[in-house]
Amino acid sequence: MNKQNEQLEALTEMRSMMERSSRFISLSGLSGVFAGVFALIGSVAAYKYLHIDSDSAVDYTKLAFKLDGEPNIPFFIFFIINGGCVLFASIAAGIFFTVRKAKQKGQNILDSTGKRLIINLFIPLATGGLFCLALLIHHQLAFIPSATLIFYGLSLLNASKYTLDDIRYLGMSEIVLGLISTIYIVHGLIFWAVGFGVLHIVYGTVMYYRHEK
């Protein structure tokens, strides 16, 4: 019996070593939860700033540009600050919880697997950012929430082969939500709040209880 237990423990250890070498398993579910909370806070701030109800249809282009085509500077300043704060807080929380989990598991976040994860995550994100910039230049702000969801989902899907499987399902959910939002573009902020807020909280909680609790 002892020999069987030793063999089982050896196999378990080998499997763990192989998983650590091929996948970045230190991604923390708490990172997703906090990112979702920050996104919801940013969405509420945007609703307060725009003075709209939850079921109101919004023409973002008319809000962002004046009748003569000149940009509405206060509008852009608010959303740059708001989005920047959400992004900074989410990245800071992600780094903190991921580093903490990596130390617990004895994994280096900048090993070859971690670098491949970052690269595969960054390429679709950078592409989506440039695409959203093109939409902004052509005054097509209504499709920016949809585009951010779709490209973010693609980046998660692309990077999921180097980390936990939960990330793949989160990516697919973001893509589906983004595609649906292209039909209801006047409610883009609601879809954005659901995608970056609610879905992050749900998947982050699931990841935490599955892999960390």
Residue 43 forms part of a structural domain: yes
pLDDT category, 180, cuts 50, 70, 90? very high
pLDDT of residue 105: 72
Asked if 42 and 86 count as a contact pair (C-beta separation under 8 A), the reply is yes
pLDDT category, 8, cuts 50, 70, 90? low
pLDDT category, 63, cuts 50, 70, 90? confident
Q: What is the mean pLDDT of residues 24-28?
A: 70
Tens digit of each residue's pLDDT (9 = 90 or more) over 85-124 = 999 999 999 889 888 887 877 777 777 777 888 889 899 9
Residue 169 forms part of a structural domain: yes
For the chain, what is the mean pLDDT?
A: 84
pLDDT of residue 24: 60
pLDDT category, 3, cuts 50, 70, 90? low
pLDDT category, 14, cuts 50, 70, 90? very low
pLDDT of residue 66: 83
Residue 7 forms part of a structural domain: no
- For 63-67, 145-149, 157-161, which range has the lowest pLDDT when averaged over its residues? 63-67
- For 39-48, 181-190, 204-213, which range has the lowest pLDDT when averaged over its residues? 204-213
Q: How far apart are CA 174 and CA 156, in angstroms?
A: 9
pLDDT of residue 23: 63
pLDDT above 90 coverage of the chain, percent? 46
Q: How far apart are CA 145 and CA 190, in angstroms?
A: 9
Residue 12 forms part of a structural domain: no
Nearest to residue 98, comparing CAs of 73, 78, 117? 117
pLDDT of residue 6: 52
pLDDT of residue 165: 84
Tens digit of each residue's pLDDT (9 = 90 or more) over 28-58 = 889 999 999 999 999 999 988 887 665 556 7
Residue 140 forms part of a structural domain: yes
Residue 5 forms part of a structural domain: no
Nearest to residue 128, comparing CAs of 148, 114, 98? 148
Sign of the four-CA dihedral 177, 23, 89, 123: negative
Tokens 């809000």 identify what position? 63
Compute, in degrees rounded to 10, the torsion defined by CA atoms 40, 42, 46, 47: 20
Residue 91 forms part of a structural domain: yes
- Domain containing 148: what range? 27-211
Residue 22 forms part of a structural domain: no
Number of structural domains (the chain) is 1
pLDDT of residue 10: 45
pLDDT of residue 81: 95
Tokens 């192989």 identify what position? 18
